[in-house]
Amino acid sequence: MQLQQLQNAFLQTYGRPSEAAYFAPGRVNLIGEHTDYNGGFVFPCALSFGTSLLLAPNTDGVFRFCSLNVSEGVDVPLHKLTEVLPDRCWANYPLGCIAQLVRRGWMPQTGYDLLFSGDVPQGAGLSSSAAIEVVTAFAFSELWQTRLSRTEIALVGQASEHEFAGVNCGIMDQFASAHGKKDYAIFLNCDTMEFQLVPVALRGIKIVIANTHSPHKLDSGAYNARVSECQTALAQLRSVRPDLKNLAELTLADFEACSGAITDAVAFRRARHVVGEVNRTRRAVEALQAGDIELFGQLMNQSHISLRDDYEVTGPELDALAEAAWQVDGVIGSRMTGGGFGGCTVSLVREEAIPAFIHSVGEAYTARTSLTADFYIAEIADGAHRL
């Protein structure tokens, strides 16, 4: 939606014009899944679709949350800005960010009218939640002159998701939304927050996202269960490696040498995925920098197989899309992206093969699942900014 349309919508909603407008993108992760909360590497990029926020202060002492994507608005008085809303209310995502800022000492002296509008497909695993968190944290950080860095803004969003949405997510989604840069992906060490912007020059190859329309639900409990299972593996490994801070520190050789300490079979498979995925992510970034796109694609495929067999977060819909993509000429690599349990795949596809890819994969997917997939050709975009 264009800015003028958003401004008209704000005027219609609140009866007066907005005073500022902001945008934060969703993200797609090219490789490095379920490694972020294990202290590992990820390789996401920001997308051209995301969440816009228009706002203006009011004199009523109330934060009014409205969204063009949700029918119900929510009013929160100033004295309740740090309280979680009941019934998994959508406004917990932006409210949680405001609460984090209030707890850091920036107590607003006035209320605000807020209007959100997002074009990230809901439930697709492309970080619509991170986009609304980061746009809120970025906007109020600027308005209240907090001088927070983009990394600190990402951490505000992560804390909001932990405390107000009940999802023990890692930092990747918020970090990509805050730090994204057009035509670059972010090679991020989630333990140290050190990162490198890596040019994505694919030369005749496009990033194609396929939406299963089987919504992924991080708050279903399955995501938090994976976090717990990794913690179990880590605790057992510390019986022989007491210095071990997180699973991602282990090389493949390290894991082979000490993995016998993991007595829980499920925790063993979760740890094996994490260690392997960290290794694959390093190799994939090196391959991209060396111009070896074929190796990058092979590592994407291996990532999906590990997420399917060891981490068990793909499911029949994501498997159907990835496995169909692997059969199409011109596909360099394909894998699930995001938390899993539904959502999207990301594929690298030669431009001339895209029509055949969409037709062939779409038909195969419907035949296996009776669902219809949507396909988006992704553009890599900038992170949070004022409009």
Can you read off the two tokens belonging to residue 194? 């050190």
Which position among 173, 183, 219, 254 bears the catalytic label?
Answer: 173
Does 119 qualify as catalytic in the annotation?
A: no
Which residue do the tokens 């070896």 mark? 292
- CA of 22: how far to CAs of 41, 52, 112, in Å? 29, 6, 14
Distance of alpha carbon 114 from alpha carbon 53, whole angstroms: 7
| Bridging pattern class, strands 62-67 and 205-211 | unpaired
Q: How many CB atoms lie within 10 A of CB 228?
A: 12
| Bridging pattern class, strands 374-378 and 184-189 | unpaired
Q: Which residues are catalytic?
A: 173
